[in-house]
């Protein structure tokens, strides 16, 4: 299997930091070795797959109004080391993770201050060897708790609960301390410090006798290539013979091969030296419909390969610089442009995106439109079922919307103190609309997309200056605040391992990834409603999500929604069995039946 | 000795100047916050950014940062990498592994190119404006003017699939080469020669293209010199004239170019490495630059500057050895 160009795993510790938060590290290495408590995604389903999860679904109680999730762990699931020694995956394995999260939350890449675990956890209780209760400080949404919070838990073996090499399992006491105990922070910090140090010592990874050899997943790491102390991307996994969960691997090994450039990877595909790889849309057969589905297309020019679209549970967008004074981000606070604060102008911009044709022409159907706003269109879910995307491409609608607010042929015709704006954000008579759009250079398909949108926006009367920059410059300008910007696109957002698309990290006032300074009390209230929104039952909750939060976030346009490019993946025709990836990008080669 | 001492001092001053400029450029164009965001990702906590900036001395003044870096350099510490793919790994180890591979990759084709280009240029000069000269000039011009990337693609496309099926472009399968470094790499190349034939051939052809043109031009200049005419008038044989009187002085431009090639030997042939996925200094340089890996970029730049200074010095010494007139003028 080939890594996508320039990408490979370099971190094994499943208590991953922000810098190690990547598909390569988590989906292509860690989850293959160490099973998360709840496994999400298989085939085209994003749902939790209970048969693949060590944890059973929680039961809920609300003593005193506080939600408590109680879950059991399947008996017989174990961690196994290289000598066949087994350690039961049990309540202590889960509490070990939760105690560490409580002690050093900032070192975990999915930590959101103020939300969920650990900030909203009152207590964690071990009911028995296979049962744990987590008590929260309010009556939260169960959907949110199970899909965004409990989904983060990666049970860890007590063999890792040490502070120095050679110490006995559990001597670090992080796995046995009480969650609110006096020593838990000190003990777990010491254990984390040791484990993080071992994680940074990459030479220990492929030593199956080291602590990283305690695996609970279907695979073991046999080889982890190094050059000058850094990972090379050469990675070999072999079946974990001690694995006692479902779906055992049938192949002798899975070899990952790195590539620095797309050209080199395409060349390797052409020569048939790899069985699964990635190539640009331009090198493969166009998919018959958006999303790349209708998979198993014969691959043009790549020989014995089928090509299929990859999927990702996320969405693409450009940050909007609202420039509000409440922003926690310096640049947003320094630049205020009234036009950006007018929802109708942001809506007009969406009318100017011919997303259907962009996906068809520029992405060759290896992509999807932003039809669901913050809810991805593919894989399908019932979260946005029946919700119609309100901004189908229409220059006419865009112009009409602008005209209704006073902009005629791109010029504000309203006079008075506020003109075409509001009291807080006045737009003067005779003003025109000018923005800049900073985006990452180097992707020809995206550049063509931007040029098409620029032309359409100009037809509506909105002048957009395109500014293609390197990733470094975008980070410097948009996330740090080194230069002025209006719109800024840098990748997108993937919901993992917080699968429920509540987007609090993006939309909530002052949130960590709210780089544009979006500030809306109503949105904050709706977000709080989706996360702490009371004791809704599963079936009752989703309509509220849809009718309240989702539709509001669509029509408010807090970020400029854009179609998502989903690069095609190629699979050798020699591979039999299921395509070994989940819609959440987790690699599942144990489903390959033969080669 | 005095000359050498003078040149060494001169070289040290150049290196000092280069180190200051190289150090200042990334610090003028990138903020510590941007580096922290890029390295740690946008999901990291603000406290993590602050800690990274502090631990890497990025919150100090430029002179303090420079002194910290220089002090480490003088003690053999080149710092830790900022590249997310090698975050926290000592730069010394990264460069060491890649540089040796590039060295063993670049040196054999360079030597081979010299052995081909010198007689080729000499013979072209001797057969000036004859069919062989025209044919060779055409071929060499094609090589000289072909972009390296295009040549690599053509070779990969045709030499591996249509004409010579046994050859494979390195990078298609054998990426384990990354894990072999130092003295073991030549043996690895010998045992996996089929993967290295094409990239080394590409480097050889591109180098021959340039060197042979200089050699031909220089030999033509030498052929009209009085001492060559005198040798011929004295009845010396053609081979004696060419090899005894023309060859040595004609190689001076080639020696100059080879001296300037020393940094290339250490830095790797960037485009060829990228095209063939060769795990050498070229790819490390590109990745470090793209990802703002300042400690690695600084170290590479300084090493290349050092190699440039040494290469020039070696070229000067070689020219003194090859051409007696330079030796004489040096003494005067």
Partner-chain contact A10 B45, CB within 8 Å? no
Cβ neighbors of B166 (< 8 A, separation 6 or more) are: B194
Per-range mean pLDDT, top range of A6-10, A15-19, B132-136:
B132-136
- The distance of A265 to chain B (nearest Cα, Å) reads 7
The residue of chain A nearest to residue B33, with distances taken between CA atoms, is A480
- Whether residue A131 lies inside any domain: the answer is yes
Q: What is the pLDDT along chain B (332 residues), one digit of tens a residue?
A: 777 788 788 888 988 898 898 888 877 777 888 888 878 877 777 788 888 899 888 999 989 999 998 999 889 899 889 888 888 889 999 998 888 888 898 899 999 999 999 999 999 998 888 999 999 999 998 988 888 888 888 887 777 655 665 566 555 546 678 888 778 889 988 888 888 888 899 899 988 988 898 899 999 999 988 999 999 898 888 888 888 889 988 988 888 888 888 887 777 678 888 778 788 888 888 888 888 888 999 999 988 888 888 888 888 888 877 776 766 454 44
Q: How many CB atoms lie within 10 A of CB B41?
A: 18
> Quick check: is A589 in a domain?
no
Q: Which residue in A111, A229, A476 is closest to B45 by CB distance?
A: A111
Phi and psi angles of residue A286, each rounded to the nearest 5 degrees, phi first: -65, 140
Of A210, A244, A266, the domain-final residue: A210
Q: How far is CA B41 from the centre of its chain?
A: 34
Q: With CA atoms as reference, report the closest residue to A18 among A96, A111, A101, A98.
A: A111
Residue of A nearest to B293 (CA): A472
Show residues of chain A in contact with B85, CB under 8 Å. 6, 8, 10, 230-231
> CA geometry: angle at B136 spanning B130 and B138, to 5°?
100
Is B40–A513 a contact, with Cβ atoms under 8 angstroms apart? no
**Domain end call among A182, A210, A238:** A210
Distance CA B188, CA A309 (A): 38
Contact by Cβ (8 Å): A527, A115: no
Helix (H, G, I), strand (E, B) or coil at A18: coil
The Cα–Cα gap between B118 and B123 comes to 8
Read off the CATH number of the domain in which A33 is found. 3.90.76.10
Would the CB atoms of A472 and B292 count as touching at under 8 Å? Answer: yes
CATH number for the domain including A395? 3.10.105.10
Residues 6 or more apart whose CB falls under 8 angstroms from that of A70 comprise A58, A59, A60, A61, A127, A131, A132, A133, A134
Question: How far apart, in whole angstroms, are the C-alpha atoms of residue A495 and residue A498?
Answer: 5
Query: The tokens 């005779």 sit on which residue?
Result: A430
Contacts of B82 (CB under 8 A, 6+ apart): B35, B38, B39, B56, B291, B292, B293, B294, B295, B296
Interchain contact, A471 vs B38, CB within 8 Å: yes
Complex ipTM, two decimals?
0.75
- Determine, for residues B90 and A229 on separate chains, whether the beta-carbon distance falls below 8 Å: yes
Whole-angstrom CA distances from A583 to A42, A473, B289 are 7, 31, 34
Do residues A31 and A172 both lie within one domain? Answer: yes
Instruction: Give a yes or no: residue A230 inside a domain.
Output: no
Contact (CB<8Å) A234/B176: yes
**What element of type H or E holds A576?**
strand A576-577
SS3 for A245-300 is: CCCCCCCCCEEEECCCCHHHHHHHHHCCCCCEEECCHHHCCCCCCCCCCCCCEECC
**Dihedral class, residue B195 (left if φ above 0, else alpha if ψ from -120 to 50, else beta):** alpha
Where would I find the H helices in chain B? 2-29, 32-40, 46-55, 62-74, 91-126, 131-145, 148-154, 184-191, 193-223, 226-233, 238-240, 247-250, 252-267, 270-275, 281-290, 294-322, 324-331
> Which domains are present in chain B?
2-86 (no CATH), 91-331 (1.10.3720.10)
User: The tokens of A424 are what?
Assistant: 């807080």
- DSSP category for residue A221: E
From chain B, the residues in CB contact with A513 under 8 A are: 42-43
User: Which of B83, B160, B176 is facing A225, going by the closest CB pair?
Assistant: B176
Question: How many C-beta neighbours within 10 Å does residue A300 have?
Answer: 12
Structure tokens at A29: 């290495």
Q: Which helix (H) or strand (E) holds A345?
A: helix A343-351
Q: Are residues A537 and A396 in the same domain?
A: yes
Per the DSSP assignment, residues forming a β-bridge with A464 are A435
Question: Is residue A506 in some structural domain?
Answer: yes
Chain B residues with CB-CB distance to A231 below 8 A: 85-86
**Can you tell me which residue has the tokens 């004074």?**
A325
Domain that holds residue A98: 23-210
Whether residue A282 contacts residue A299, with contact meaning beta carbons closer than 8 Å, is answered with no
- Which element (helix H / strand E) includes A562? strand A560-562
Name the residue among B85, B95, B160 with its Cβ closest to that of A10. Answer: B85
More confident residue, B43 or A506: A506
Contacts of B48 in chain A (CB under 8 A): 17-18, 106-107
Domain co-membership, A173 together with A27: yes
Chain A closest CA to B284's CA: distance in Å?
10
Distance set, CA A73 to CA A87, A93, B195 (Å): 14, 10, 51
Structural domain count of chain A: 2
> Which residues on chain A are in Cβ contact (under 8 Å) with B181?
227-228
Residues A549, A403 share a domain = yes
Backbone angles phi and psi of A467, in degrees to 5: -135, 90
Whether residue A202 is found in the same domain as residue A321 = no
Residues A429 and A550 in one domain: yes
Give the pLDDT of residue A141.
83
A270 contact residues in B (CB cutoff 8 A): 161
> What is the pLDDT, as a whole number, of residue B332?
44
Residue B8 · residue B1 · CB < 8 Å:
no
Number of cross-chain residue pairs from A and B with Cβ atoms under 8 Å apart: 154
Q: Let me know whether A203 and A329 are in one domain.
A: no
Establish if A258 belongs to a structural domain: no
**A58 within a domain of the structure (yes/no):** yes
Strand, helix or coil for residue B234: coil
In a domain, A581, yes or no: no
Burial label, A223 (beta-carbon count in 10 A; 0-12, 13-18, 19+): middle
A435-445 pLDDT per residue, tens: 999 998 878 88
Q: How far apart are the first and last CA of chain A?
A: 12
Is the pTM above the cut of 0.90?
no
Q: Give the HSE-up count for residue B69: Cα atoms under 13 Å, Cβ half-sphere.
A: 26
Same domain, A339 and A456: yes
Tokens read off for A557? 């346009």
Q: At what angle do helices B294-322 and B252-267 cross, to 10 degrees?
A: 160
Neighbours of A315 (CB within 10 A): 26
**pLDDT per residue as tens digits for the range A549-594:** 888 888 899 999 999 988 888 888 888 766 667 778 888 899 888 7
Same domain, A505 and A364: yes
Q: How close does chain B come to A107, measured CA to CA in Å? A: 8
C-alpha distances in Å from residue A339, one per residue of A318, A434, A435, B41: 16, 9, 9, 30
CB within 8 A of A13, min separation 6: which ones? A20, A30, A195, A196, A198, A199
Q: How close A376 comes to chain B (CA, Å)?
A: 20
* Inter-chain CB proximity A19 and B37 less than 8 Å: no
Pairing of strands A462-469, A433-440: parallel
> Longest Cα pair distance anywhere in chain A, in angstroms?
81
pLDDT digits (tens, 9 = 90+) for B67-109: 998 999 889 899 889 888 888 889 999 998 888 888 898 899 9
Domain boundary among A210, A243, A263: A210
Asked, for residue A544, whether it belongs to a domain, the answer is yes
Mark yes or no for CB contact A229/B31 under 8 Å.
no
């Amino acid at each position: 299997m080939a890594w996508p160009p320039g990408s490979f795993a370099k971190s094994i510790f499943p208590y991953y930091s922000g810098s190690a938060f990547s598909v390569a590290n988590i989906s292509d290495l860690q989850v293959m070795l160490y099973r998360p408590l709840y496994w999400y995604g298989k085939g085209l389903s994003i749902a939790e797959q209970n048969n693949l999860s060590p944890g059973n679904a929680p039961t809920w109680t609300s003593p005193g109004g506080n939600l408590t999730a109680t879950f059991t762990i399947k008996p017989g699931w174990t961690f196994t080391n290289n000598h066949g020694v087994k350690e039961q995956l049990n309540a202590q394995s889960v509490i070990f993770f939760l105690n560490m999260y409580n002690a050093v939350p900032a070192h975990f890449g999915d930590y959101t201050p103020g939300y969920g675990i650990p900030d909203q956890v009152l207590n964690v209780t071990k009911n028995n060897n296979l049962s744990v209760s987590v008590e929260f400080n309010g009556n939260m949404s169960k959907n949110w708790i199970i899909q965004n919070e409990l989904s983060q838990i990666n049970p860890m073996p007590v063999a890792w609960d040490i502070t120095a090499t050679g110490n006995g399992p559990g001597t670090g006491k992080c796995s046995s301390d009480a969650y609110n105990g006096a020593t838990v922070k000190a003990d777990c910090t010491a254990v984390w410090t040791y484990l993080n140090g071992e994680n940074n010592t990459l030479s220990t990874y492929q030593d199956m006798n080291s602590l990283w050899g305690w695996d609970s997943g279907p695979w073991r790491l046999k080889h982890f290539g190094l050059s000058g102390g850094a990972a090379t991307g050469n990675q070999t996994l072999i079946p974990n013979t001690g694995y006692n969960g479902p779906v055992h691997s049938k192949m002798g090994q899975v070899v990952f091969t790195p590539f620095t450039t797309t050209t080199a990877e395409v060349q390797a595909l052409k020569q048939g030296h790899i069985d699964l790889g990635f190539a640009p849309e331009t090198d493969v057969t166009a998919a018959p419909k958006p999303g790349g589905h209708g998979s198993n297309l014969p691959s043009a020019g790549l020989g014995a390969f089928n090509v299929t679209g990859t999927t990702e549970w996320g969405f693409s967008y450009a940050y909007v610089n609202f420039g509000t004074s409440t922003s926690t981000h310096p640049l947003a606070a320094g630049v205020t442009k009234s036009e950006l604060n007018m929802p109708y102008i942001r809506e007009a911009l969406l009318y100017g995106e011919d997303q259907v044709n962009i996906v068809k022409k520029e992405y060759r159907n290896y992509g999807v439109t932003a039809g669901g706003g913050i809810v991805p269109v593919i894989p399908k879910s019932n979260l946005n079922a029946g919700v119609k995307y309100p901004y189908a491409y229409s220059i006419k609608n865009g112009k009409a919307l602008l005209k209704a607010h006073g902009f005629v042929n791109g010029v504000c015709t309203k006079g008075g103190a506020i003109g075409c704006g509001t009291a807080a954000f006045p737009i003067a008579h005779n003003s025109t609309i000018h923005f800049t759009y900073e985006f990452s250079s180097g992707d020809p398909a995206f550049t063509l997309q931007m040029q098409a949108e620029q032309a359409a926006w100009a037809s509506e009367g909105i002048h957009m200056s395109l500014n293609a920059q390197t990733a470094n410059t975008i980070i410097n300008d948009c996330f740090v605040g080194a230069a002025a910007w209006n719109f800024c696109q840098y990748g997108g957002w993937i919901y993992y391992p917080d699968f429920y698309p509540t987007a609090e990290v993006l939309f909530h006032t002052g949130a960590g990834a709210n780089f544009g300074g979006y500030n809306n009390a109503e949105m904050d209230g709706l977000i709080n409603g989706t996360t702490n929104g009371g004791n809704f039952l599963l079936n009752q909750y989703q309509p509220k999500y849809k009718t309240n939060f989702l539709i509001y976030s669509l029509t408010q346009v807090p970020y400029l929604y854009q179609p998502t490019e989903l690069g095609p993946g190629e699979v050798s025709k020699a591979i039999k069995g299921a395509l070994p990836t989940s819609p959440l990008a987790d690699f599942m080669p144990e489903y390959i039946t033969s080669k | 000795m005095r000359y050498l001492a003078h040149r060494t001092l001169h070289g040290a001053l150049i290196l000092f100047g280069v180190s200051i400029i190289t150090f200042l450029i990334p610090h003028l164009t990138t903020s510590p916050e941007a580096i922290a965001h890029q390295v740690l990702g946008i999901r990291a906590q603000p406290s993590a950014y602050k800690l990274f900036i502090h631990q890497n001395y990025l919150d100090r003044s430029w002179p303090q940062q420079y002194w910290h870096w220089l002090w480490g350099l003088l003690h053999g510490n080149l710092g830790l990498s900022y590249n997310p793919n090698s975050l926290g790994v000592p730069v010394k180890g990264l460069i060491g592994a890649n540089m040796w591979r590039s060295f063993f990759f670049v040196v054999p084709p360079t030597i081979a190119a010299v052995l081909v280009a010198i007689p080729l240029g000499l013979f072209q000069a001797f057969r000036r404006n004859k069919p062989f000269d025209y044919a060779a000039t055409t071929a060499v011009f094609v090589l000289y003017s072909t972009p390296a990337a295009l040549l690599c693609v053509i070779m990969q496309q045709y030499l591996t699939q249509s004409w010579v099926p046994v050859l494979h472009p390195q990078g298609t399968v054998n990426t384990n080469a990354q894990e072999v470094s130092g003295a073991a790499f030549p043996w690895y190349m010998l045992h996996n020669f089929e993967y290295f034939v094409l990239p080394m051939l590409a480097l050889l052809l591109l180098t021959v293209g340039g060197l042979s043109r200089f050699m031909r031009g220089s030999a033509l200049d030498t052929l009209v010199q009085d001492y060559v005419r005198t040798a011929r008038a004295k009845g010396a044989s053609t081979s004696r004239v060419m090899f005894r009187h023309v060859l040595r002085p004609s190689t001076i431009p080639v020696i100059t170019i080879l001296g300037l090639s020393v940094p290339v030997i250490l830095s790797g042939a960037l485009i060829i490495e990228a095209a063939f996925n060769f795990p050498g200094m070229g790819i490390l340089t590109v990745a470090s630059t793209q990802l703002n890996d300042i400690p690695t970029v600084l170290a590479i730049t300084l090493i290349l500057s050092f190699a440039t200074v040494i290469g020039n010095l070696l070229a000067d010494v070689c020219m003194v050895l090859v051409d007696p007139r330079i030796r004489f003028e040096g003494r005067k």
